[in-house]
Structure 1
Amino acid sequence: MSPEDLNQDAQIFLKRLKNDERNWVLKALTCIRRNFVDADIWTTGGVDSKYIDIRVGVKKPGKIKGRPLLYFQKIAGSKARLSLNSDYRDGAGIAATIDMSTSAGDVALNAWLGKLKLHLSEWPEAMSGDGNVPAKYGISEINKTEPDGTGLPPSVYDERIIPLNQILYGPPGTGKTFNTVTAAMEIVAPESVQNYNEHDPQSRQNLQTAFQQYLQSGQIVFCTFHQSFSYEDFVEGLRARSEQGQLQYAVEPGIFKQLCERAKLGTTAAEDPFDKAIAVLAELCSDPEARPVLSTRTGKKFEVEYEGSKTFRVFPKESTVHDAYYVANIELVRKLYQGHDKKGMYNPSYVEGMLKYLKEQCGLPTYQQAQSVAQERRNFVIIIDEINRGNVSRILGELITLIELGKRAGNAEELSVVLPYSKERFNIPSNVYIIGTMNTADRSLVGLDIALRRRFAFTEMAPNPDRLSNLNIGTLNIGELLRAINQRIEVLLDREHCIGHAYFLGLNEQSDLADLAYIFDHQIIPLLQEYFFEDWERISWVLNDQNKPDPAHRFIVEPTQADESVEVLFGKGAEALKNKRWRLNRGAFVLEQSFIGILPASKA
């Protein structure tokens, strides 16, 4: 990079470096430009800020916010370093941060960047800028978010690139489903989350209300995977129905296929002129005694009646059988409207007659092809709660390949498949986003299908005791309580079975010891029983009972009645038996010291 490419802030950044560091940064910038010719390079901070860094990614001149992928930073006491944005580190297969001691020469730099380039094949837009250099932007705007002194870049970037496929994973009670609302709204209506504050009940209510509206419109779809959920529910399958006393089987689209078909149109049903016209026709059919009379292209009269979902019943006027009817599928009418050939359609004459009536009587305009440019279409989201509870490979089937960014419709490497039931060719548009949640206590992240992991970006939702740091019951701080319990669970089991902060979010300033006792009695201890397979000794360790001097403060105790002893129960010769019996001490739940005793001695 030549001197004329630098602005004042970039020059100041370089001047703060030693000669060898400065040469390494300039060499790295040259290698980056060679590997990512369209990437933008700019600075943040400024002469009046405590720090300046150089960023690489996408940023329009004149706009304050950008989408950085790489950061050049100089932190006191360490060498200048190049860091990869944390949102892209999972699965990259490269060091998250490099400096001149680890990547001094061109070969090492190009090797690191080459692996990064391969990793970014799923996110080509991450470096698809205009090839701008710092001089193009002038002097930086002051960035108010400063590094925390750890030497690592911020965990989120100015204007986040949202992955098409993402999974929020973590232990129970960490807010995974809660956060899908925010994640989905960030996709379909980003303006709605700009001033959102999850700690403000009114702000959350406003977001939830907007979310429900998008659910109603079909722009967001919510489902839960379970062991009975199948490919036929998600993509398409055969459904039995009774018509005039006869059992008929028809191919019905699943929830994901319906979402994709709607996304290809780029509009919701409320905005789609075809759906509006169908709604008018359905309203005209509401009186069974005055069904609308339509005609085929050859002039044959028939009446229609709306059956619901995507089907109309067709009653030929000339039929000799009373109320004999055929079926006309709305999607076939739509396809004919869009210009598809009617050859091979079921009851094509009636389908054509319905389309004619929709145009003449229901206000259906001349067909205008749905917007084909992805940026001009609305985004659509499917939220899959508990994604690891279902057999994901079986549910997705061949779609496991199609959900990849590079295989989506409109991309250079796009793919389509012929679906097994309808025999239709199908692909997934690039404006369909998938958000999943995964409870790590149910199945380890490592146990997921590798093919699935590669196609999703994973975001950990860890327990956050800091959310409870200002919450006290008497002299007991709930944040410290949760932190102590989780630290012991990590030692005795693993971090995937920690307890989430959401279990305690129902507590407030008015809550008392009885409220906390209820949570422990009905939620926390039953969960620990499940985690430790009724190993009460380990459960007592989690609750620190072994270090409570007063037995009255212990939640888990051994039987103490004389007639419950091993000797009484089994008689002589049973001395070798170990008493593995434990019981809950209900009296401990009403004593504040029982809960205080869970904390380490240094904090109790």
Structure 2
Amino acid sequence: MILYGPPGTGKTYNTVNYAVAIIENRSVDSICEEDYERVLERYNNYRKSGQINFTTFHQSYGYEEFIEGIKPTLDEDQEEHLQYKIESGIFKVFCENAQQLKVTNNNEALEIDSRVWKVSLGGSGMNEVKDDCFRNNRVRIGWDEFGKDRTCGKERPSSTVEDIMYSFYDDMSIGDIVFSLGDEKHIDAIGIITGEPEWLSDKSRYKRSRPVKWIAKNVKEYVYDLNGKKKLTQRTVYELKRMSNASVNEIILKYAQHDQITVEENHKNFVFIIDEINRGNISKILGELITLIEPTKRLGAPEQMKVHLPYSKIEFGVPQNVYILGTMNTADRSIAMMDTALRRRFRFIEMMPNADLLDGIKVENIDIQHMVQTINERIEVLYDREHTIGHAYFMGLRNDPTIENLESIFKNAIIPLLQEYFFEDYSKTQLILGDNAKADDLKFILDTHVHANTVFKANPDIDIPEKKYSIQLAAFKKPASYIEIYEQIK
């Protein structure tokens, strides 16, 4: 859904209420009845846990930041060497987190991540090393000659071996998934890494080990297609980057249910918030996601769709438990100019100025509610309702009802906004603020007559404006300047 309306109507503010309502499966009205500080506290907790994420679209924002792209990185050891890596964007990572399975071993929850590694346990097929790993819940690799700390052997490992050991010790982490090599198209076991690397001094070979909880053993699962039609190799350890999160989950769910291990799909709701959604190039940012976000095209839906992403080549779909919440400033760009494809896929919720929220706010006898209502009535007549001024600009006056605070709001927010709306047509700005009927000393926009003969030589043959306008700073300090916006003092 998209919350849309003029500036200052609390769209971003209300994303907190909407996001918490979605996650907790409650109505927005019931959330709004609670104290906002308590709702905000829960919102921040959901952000920390990963159930809520937030971004802002802008004109430079693209597919690479949102879905995936090729990013330059510096080599950690040789910083002058530039490398290029495929990196997932913020929304793709969010969707993968929303698909994360809940794995329980004897009623104890296991941490699980989305990274998947292929390991060769003594080679393909069943062997002594693999049998030991299956019985003792671990994985083992060799190159014992290089010692426990990888550098104390007589020889230095080759670059390939060094890369493999780096993956095993440094890249692999607790919660990562491991697939044991069966043959070049099949895996024969699925496990979750549960501990840090260990050195098995009691073993004669394959002494490097990591604790693993095997979810399934002695299976034969065909993964050739899921791996982008690439055969599994004998290389001891490497990451399976072509496998999508959804495909890996399907394999785990297929084999995981037994007495000790239970696996559940993630049924929590996740909310992705896009502020200023209309300021981005929607086609450029969303790409093929414009189709995938439809409820009927989500993963698990009757018409579910997946696409092969252009860089990683993996299959990707949007899970059903991901909700997208956007905000849109109608003064920034008309809703009529929104991408038609986006309009069909979102529910639009209008948020207009609510002057009732300003009821009771007085600043030196200035009725703020009446003043804002009057300003907005005039804007609707001279411009349109989509460019009215939101109540949020004035909410700070409830705790600090001083003329200095009101002066700051008008000078730094309201006047610049009206200048933008009317393209510096100060005569209309005067009408909005009632300056056309005020004494000169109370006018925010002061008009003075132009005497051409005192400015130009002779009589120039051009149309010269009859008036010139200036902002009168002294008027912002006078309560009568504000009162006369909505009533005439006699």
TM-score where L is the length of structure 2: 0.71
Paired residue type of 2:55: C
Which whole-Å deviations, capped at 9, do the CAs of 1:77-115 have from their partners, x for residues lacking one?
xxxxxxxxxxxxxxxxxxxxxxxxxxxxxxxxxxxxxxx
Q: Look up the match of 2:427.
A: 537
How far apart, CA to CA, are the structure 1 residues paired with 2:181 and 2:25?
A: 36
Deviation at 1:212, TM superposition (A): 1.2
Over 3 Å counting, the alpha-carbon distance change for 1:176 and 1:401 in structure 2 is same
Paired residue type of 1:559: T
- Say which structure, 1 or 2, has more relative contact order (CA 8 Å, 6+ apart): 2
Q: Look up the match of 1:172.
A: 7
Alignment match of 2:466 (pick from 564, 572, 579): 579
Structure 1 residue 274 and structure 2 residue 117: aligned?
A: no
SS in 2 for 1:169: strand
Pairs within 5 Å for 1:395-414 = 395-414=285-304
Gaps of 5+ in 1: 1-165, 279-294, 306-313
Paired residue type of 1:366: I
Paired residue type of 2:424: E
Deviation at 1:358, TM superposition (A): 7.5
Contact 2:98–2:322 under 8 Å retained in 1:
yes
Contact 2:404–2:477 under 8 Å retained in 1:
yes
Pairs within 5 Å for 1:52-451 = 166-190=1-25, 196-197=31-32, 203-243=35-75, 244-245=77-78, 246-266=81-101, 273-275=111-113, 299-301=142-144, 319-320=156-157, 324-325=162-163, 328=167, 334=176, 336-337=178-179, 364=213, 366=215, 369=253, 377-451=267-341
Q: Look up the match of 1:140.
A: none
How far apart, CA to CA, are the structure 2 residues paired with 1:457 and 1:340?
A: 47
Over 3 Å counting, the alpha-carbon distance change for 1:168 and 1:304 in structure 2 is farther
Paired residue type of 1:571: K
How far apart, CA to CA, are the structure 2 residues paired with 1:588 and 1:582?
A: 14
How far apart, CA to CA, are the structure 1 residues paired with 2:213 and 2:420?
A: 58
Deviation at 1:344, TM superposition (A): 9.4
Paired residue type of 2:304: E
Contact 1:185–1:192 under 8 Å retained in 2:
no
How far apart, CA to CA, are the structure 2 residues paired with 1:507 and 1:238?
A: 48
Contact 1:297–1:353 under 8 Å retained in 2:
no
Contact 2:176–2:192 under 8 Å retained in 1:
no
Gaps of 5+ in 2: 117-137, 199-208, 217-251, 257-261
How far apart, CA to CA, are the structure 2 residues paired with 1:533 and 1:304?
A: 72
Q: Look up the match of 1:91.
A: none
Q: Look up the match of 2:242.
A: none
Contact 2:112–2:174 under 8 Å retained in 1:
no
Structure 1 residue 465 and structure 2 residue 355: aligned?
A: yes
SS in 2 for 1:434: strand
Alignment match of 2:455 (pick from 569, 582, 586): 569
Structure 1 residue 590 and structure 2 residue 477: aligned?
A: yes
How far apart, CA to CA, are the structure 1 residues paired with 2:4 and 2:182?
A: 46
Paired residue type of 1:216: K
Contact 1:472–1:509 under 8 Å retained in 2:
no
SS in 2 for 1:577: coil
SS in 2 for 1:451: helix
Deviation at 1:253, TM superposition (A): 0.8
Over 3 Å counting, the alpha-carbon distance change for 1:373 and 1:271 in structure 2 is closer
Which whole-Å deviations, capped at 9, do the CAs of 1:202-250 have from their partners, x for residues lacking one?
x222221221111111111111111121101110111222334343222
SS in 2 for 1:452: helix
Contact 2:419–2:426 under 8 Å retained in 1:
yes
Alignment match of 1:516 (pick from 387, 403, 406): 406
SS in 1 for 2:272: strand
Paired residue type of 1:558: D
Contact 1:192–1:207 under 8 Å retained in 2:
no
Q: Look up the match of 2:440.
A: 551
Over 3 Å counting, the alpha-carbon distance change for 1:230 and 1:316 in structure 2 is farther
Contact 1:296–1:352 under 8 Å retained in 2:
no
Which whole-Å deviations, capped at 9, do the CAs of 1:159-189 have from their partners, x for residues lacking one?
xxxxxxx111111111111011111111223
Question: Across the two proteins, how many residue pairs are aligned to each other?
Answer: 401
SS in 2 for 1:438: strand
Deviation at 1:591, TM superposition (A): 1.8
Paired residue type of 1:300: W
How far apart, CA to CA, are the structure 2 residues paired with 1:343 and 1:171?
A: 59
How far apart, CA to CA, are the structure 1 residues paired with 2:192 and 2:356?
A: 65
Moved over 6 A (4+): 191-194, 302-305, 314-318, 339-342, 351-360, 370-374
Over 3 Å counting, the alpha-carbon distance change for 1:530 and 1:330 in structure 2 is farther
Contact 2:177–2:192 under 8 Å retained in 1:
no
Paired residue type of 1:424: I
How far apart, CA to CA, are the structure 2 residues paired with 1:504 and 1:470?
A: 12
SS in 2 for 1:223: strand
How far apart, CA to CA, are the structure 2 residues paired with 1:358 and 1:254?
A: 30
Deviation at 1:512, TM superposition (A): 2.3
Deviation at 1:587, TM superposition (A): 2.2
How far apart, CA to CA, are the structure 2 residues paired with 1:224 and 1:490?
A: 29
SS in 1 for 2:448: coil
Paired residue type of 2:473: R
Contact 1:401–1:407 under 8 Å retained in 2:
yes
Over 3 Å counting, the alpha-carbon distance change for 1:530 and 1:193 in structure 2 is closer
Deviation at 1:516, TM superposition (A): 1.3
How far apart, CA to CA, are the structure 2 residues paired with 1:467 and 1:600?
A: 21
Over 3 Å counting, the alpha-carbon distance change for 1:344 and 1:477 in structure 2 is farther
What percentage of aligned pairs have identical amino acids? Answer: 40
SS in 2 for 1:428: coil
Structure with a larger share of its residues in strand: 2
How far apart, CA to CA, are the structure 2 residues paired with 1:423 and 1:332?
A: 26
How far apart, CA to CA, are the structure 1 residues paired with 2:392 and 2:60?
A: 28
TM-score where L is the length of structure 1: 0.59
